[in-house]
């Protein structure tokens, strides 16, 4: 199968799947999700992604229809049905009807949610080519640590980036404090130190972000988990963007101004470490 869809126990070709209109995701975006890359039929960092998936669900008082091990087994079984083992593995939990057939803001506590899964062909970038970024004000709510389906601000920011010929948008809040990107985490290298916004309620604590921090620690690169400003972003020696889709990218332009390029050897050490980790974990 080239593209696969799964909903509440049924699966088939993605374009043939049908979802009930009464699922609360249609009315409220009431759900959480997680996702990650797969190579050679090996899902990368699966334990970490599933743990975060369950944490997000618990923070929204959602009940999983199965346990962690059962979910991991299901994901691996579905991956094995695909024509290619190089995939983007996406899964989300919605509240389903939430105990009510009609549209209602309240829900029945304890009712098992509905599990969705999609598997689509994908490749991980090696991160060698630089990307362009654009900045935009962060107008999102204050629960960014929960990986919810309420993504309209990120959608609009991503479109702004696309319209500007860029690959990603960088969010900033009052005081010009940089938080993260529309669908990535952003970090800077300055004077040999990695700086990244703390994993609080203003950002999603990315799995790739965790792996970046671990890579720096293994390479003896100091890490400071503290907020930085737009001015510091533009003045950084290097600007790094991480996500589960692209483990380690770097930017050479923000808002049409050149950035980075001042610590290429250090950047390459980090990039090669992270890509090497991914290739080793997903080897045939």
Active site residues: 147
SS3 113: coil
């Amino acid at each position: 199968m080239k593209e696969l869809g799964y909903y509440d126990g049924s699966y088939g070709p993605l374009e043939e799947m049908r979802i009930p209109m009464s699922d609360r995701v249609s009315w409220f975006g009431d759900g959480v999700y997680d996702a990650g890359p797969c190579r050679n039929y090996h899902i990368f960092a699966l334990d970490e992604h599933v743990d975060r998936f369950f944490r997000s669900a618990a923070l929204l008082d959602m009940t999983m229809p199965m346990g962690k091990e059962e979910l991991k087994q299901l994901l691996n079984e579905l991956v094995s049905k695909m024509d290619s083992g190089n995939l983007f593995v996406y899964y989300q939990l919605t509240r389903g009807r939430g105990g009510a057939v009609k549209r209602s803001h309240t829900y029945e506590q304890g009712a098992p949610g509905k599990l969705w899964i999609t598997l689509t062909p994908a490749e991980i970038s090696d991160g060698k080519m630089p990307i362009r970024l654009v900045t935009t004000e962060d107008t999102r709510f204050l629960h960014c640590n929960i990986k919810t389906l309420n993504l309209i601000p990120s959608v609009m920011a991503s479109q702004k980036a696309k319209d500007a010929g860029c690959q990603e948008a960088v969010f900033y809040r009052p005081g010009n404090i940089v938080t993260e990107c529309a669908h990535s985490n952003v970090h800077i290298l300055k004077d040999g130190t990695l700086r990244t916004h703390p994993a609080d309620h203003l950002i999603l604590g990315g799995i790739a972000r965790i792996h970046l921090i671990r890579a720096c620690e293994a390479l003896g690169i100091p890490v400071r988990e503290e907020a930085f400003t737009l001015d510091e972003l533009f003045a950084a020696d290097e600007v790094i963007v991480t996500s589960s889709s692209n483990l380690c990218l770097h930017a050479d332009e923000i808002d049409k101004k050149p950035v980075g390029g001042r610590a290429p050897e250090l950047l390459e050490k980090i990039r090669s470490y992270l890509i090497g980790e991914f290739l080793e974990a997903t080897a045939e």
